[in-house]
Structure 1
């Protein structure tokens, strides 16, 4: 176990040296590639304007997302009405979706408790 720790430490030192040597050139290259997204000059007013634009754009997208949700709900209702025609694949997909929702709920609960594994999930 101690040899694994030493090996891990040496890998971490190598990675740290690599980042310190090549990190600034990577950063500059990344900014150069994406300079069309950078606002010049970077002022507080421009940042406030962009944050307001993002907020109100997201707010304006709510009706479209609500409409898509109701369409999806209607299709689920149709599947439920015709459940005798449902294939095994469709039932499996629905079960996996339900399991995924439950798992995300459990992860959210654990994250909400500060990543402690106490309570009724253990």
Structure 2
């Protein structure tokens, strides 16, 4: 166990050194590649304006997303009506998708608790 801890510390040290050496260059390159998205001058007023634009743009997109949701739901209803014609592969894919969703839910719950497991601890 102590050797694994030493290996982990060594890897963390190497990663830290790599970030210290290359982090600044990566940051500069990232800003340079995305300079078309940077608003100059960066003032509080401009940030508030952009925040409002984002909020109201998202708000305006709700009707389109609402319509898409109902179309998707109608498609699921149609599949359910014709479930006797459903292939085994499609049913297996749907089951796998459901299991994956449940697994992500469980992982999300664990992450939300700070990666702790609840239950009896002797």
What TM-score range do you get, normalising by the shorter chain?
0.7 to 0.9
Inter-partner Cα distance in structure 1 for 2:24 and 2:111:
34
Deviates more, 1:54-63 or 1:3-12: 3-12
Q: Which residue of 1 aligns with 2:83?
A: 83
- Give 1:112 deviation, angstroms: 4.1
Q: Which deviates further from its counterpart, 60-69 or 100-109? A: 100-109
Count of paired positions: 119
Separation of aligned partners in 2, 1:27 and 1:113: 32
Task: For 1:67 and 1:82, locate their aligned partners in 2 and report how far apart those are by CA, in whole Å.
Answer: 23
What RMSD, in angstroms, separates the aligned Cα atoms of the two structures? Answer: 1.8
| Whole-Å separation in 2 of the counterparts to 1:117 and 1:2 | 24
Q: Flag structure 2 segments of 5+ consecutive residues without an equivalent.
A: none
Higher RCO (C-alpha 8 Å, min separation 6): 1
Give the structure 1 partner of residue 55 of structure 2.
Answer: 55
Q: Distance in 2 between matches of 1:74 and 1:46?
A: 42
Comparing 109-118 and 38-47, the one that deviates more? 109-118
Cross-structure match for 1:25: 25
In the alignment, the residues of structure 2 paired with residue 19 and residue 112 of structure 1 have an alpha-carbon distance, to the nearest angstrom, of 28
Instruction: State TM-score, norm by structure 1.
Output: 0.84
Question: Which residue is equivalent to 2:95?
Answer: 95
